[in-house]
Structure 1
């Protein structure tokens, strides 16, 4: 069988890679279609990729240097949304005003996705839940589409597909498919105790961490008995730095790192590692205390049970920590996906979350970090959640159900 993966952004693709590997290991052909950054992430994961260029006046410019971090259209839209929010309050779901931006985005890549799917002689499409073009292409080619959710406590992706059916209605009529097709199957790597009640029904799958390809640094392989504290604001933080935006109200990433370094400077009982984007390193200055600064942390290899991860509420970072049984301090920006993740993990008892005001308050942040390092309250829950995740069916088991849609 020939499977085509489609994803809106590189971070969305990463959680799909283990299922793609499972399909390859089962003897099936797998390729990825997406914009240049998605195609590059696919190649780094050992997958063939079709690089789809956007068409039209809003198309993203090609990157002059492969591998260079550049502003992503999806993140630019998110940054604009946060700026429009003013004080960062998000009283409810924030949909893009009107239907046109979603329609324009699908139209801009539809021909490229269709060409890739036809060229690949696609039997099945595996789709990011907000890459609606995959559903449209599946309908046009009469090919089943399986949606894989991101893996964390998320209801936004379910809401998005429902909303997209209305937003893209006219486009689907013009494409000759009448309406946006429903997925033949939805796979959810989120463990049951974290799954949002608002998320629709789905087939369970174990979350298998994949944080990208790269050489493992020596420090990640050997360690002493100290707990490790990893601080990472993920791809969102990198893109915030690229755009020059404040990460949250009142401060950029450099300020967050400096505050956290000061909070951890008096803790010789922990090993502190910061994942700092190149765009921010020059702003850090000299940090207090022994802090290891790295451009990238292979979290799946660097963590063990009882470690502390301080992050923004990104699903990939959060679920990697959950798999390893690490506890989490969440500092989410005011976006529904990050807020959902942070709130759910705190409710599950595996971490704590700081609102924007607390994130700006160095004393509050320091106190919370020390409380979490001195208490075992979250550790037991984190270990239980790791066990629950390990009990879910692996991608190797789930791939049979996925291919059963053919």
Structure 2
């Protein structure tokens, strides 16, 4: 049966600008290959997705070595590799055709092997954008003024940088749309620099959603040096400014057959009502993290009046809050949360919830505590009208 989501990782290039040696996707970063880090990042962000890698025909031994670096769950998500062509465009088409032979998914993400720092929030935004628009790419605003120059190096135009974006991957599409666009591009004999251009050439409107400055592509030796610095996370002992934040949220029951708690779907006689997926526990944890760094609450960052967040996965909110902590050079030291309800029973799902929150937040599961209690039949939770959640986040930041 086809997966709902497939991720195509393009790893067939030679990467000559990165310097001499192995192709850059197989070079080591802190003891692990770039491609292994990229595959692990994609699997962590979308554990149910099938992963297909396009490799150079000469790199099968290097690819096998990379696969051996992966955790068992990531290896299990891999399909057989597809072989690349002379151009990236051909390689992507080969990969899409390979995915289609296994069974067409609804959505496909096309990601560069040399971008190992894509986080779950970026991947979640890509998936939601593809479902909403059919074709979508992450874009980061430009900080520098851009000049258009002629063949002699003289300025001929200064584009308005507010309208410009530096496009990244994963680029996200409805599978049938991008496969048809690639086939049309191949038949027309034209070359394009990315998959969004191929979708545009086929007459598709391409939406640009928020990218991530940390999701840079490894191209030059300087990029590898930057990547090593990015991997050097500070220790808690290096972060003397200890902050605590609290979060609280309530959602009423509504018609449905499951509730979302901490990113885990728990079967129940009802669902929870809310503008997003109503994950009351994740909302409380998110507000606790935001509170610890004095950044307001979820509503300030993701207004419920904005229709784009209707039905959105609450993971997007928590990933955003955690990114704000990292951007300030900080770390999340601990999460302590309590779910208040008569039903469903939380105990059987406690470890799954802890693991889910730890994955989303990028912290060790030993730093996530989940408890549950009832109100002895008192109040709205006691009457079975809804669920409440409380959370405390401990965050450590650099001084100053």
The TM-score normalised by the length of structure 2 is 0.29
Greater relative contact order, per chain length (Cα 8 Å cut-off, separation 6+) = 1
User: Larger Cα Rg: Structure 1 or Structure 2?
Assistant: 2
Q: Please identify which structure carries the higher helix content.
A: 1
| Structure 1 length-normalised TM | 0.29
Higher strand share: 2
